[in-house]
C-alpha cells in the first residue's frame, strides 16, 4: 500500500471526527507530513510512511524535538495504525 492511501485514510477519519489533518508545508526539511487538529484543542504531528518504511534520521530528529517540546508527534505506516490512533484520540 502506498503512503498516499494511508494519508488519505487518516485525513478522512480525522474529518469524520470533526477535525482537520492539514498538510504541513513549513519549508523546513524533515517535518512531519500532517498536523492533526482535533476538537478540544488537541494538536498531533503525524509522519506517514508506507508499510514497513522508517523515518529518515532527520525526520526522527524532528519528531523527537516536537515530543521534547511537549507535542504529540508520531509515525503511522498502515491503515490499522490509523485506526489505533483514531481510537486513542477519541
Q: What is the reported pLDDT for 70?
A: 98
Q: What is the reported pLDDT for 24?
A: 87
pLDDT in tens, 7-33: 999 999 999 999 999 998 889 999 999
Edge to edge, the sheet with strand 72-76 lists 20-23, 34-38, 42-48, 72-76
Start-to-end CA span in the chain (Å): 26
Rounded to whole angstroms, the Cα distance separating 11 from 17 reads: 10
pTM of the model: 0.95
Rounded to whole angstroms, the Cα distance separating 24 from 3 reads: 15
pLDDT in tens, 37-83: 999 999 999 999 999 999 999 999 999 999 999 999 999 999 999 99
Amino acid at each position: 500500500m502506498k503512503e498516499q492511501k494511508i494519508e488519505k485514510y487518516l485525513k478522512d477519519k480525522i474529518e469524520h471526527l470533526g477535525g482537520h489533518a492539514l498538510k504541513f508545508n513549513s519549508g523546513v526539511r524533515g517535518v512531519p507530513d500532517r498536523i492533526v487538529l482535533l476538537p478540544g484543542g488537541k494538536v498531533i504531528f503525524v509522519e506517514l510512511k508506507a508499510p514497513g518504511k522508517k523515518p529518515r534520521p532527520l525526520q526522527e530528529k524532528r519528531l523527537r524535538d516536537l515530543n521534547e517540546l511537549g507535542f504529540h508527534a508520531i509515525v503511522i505506516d498502515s491503515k490499522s495504525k490509523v485506526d489505533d490512533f483514531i481510537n486513542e484520540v477519541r
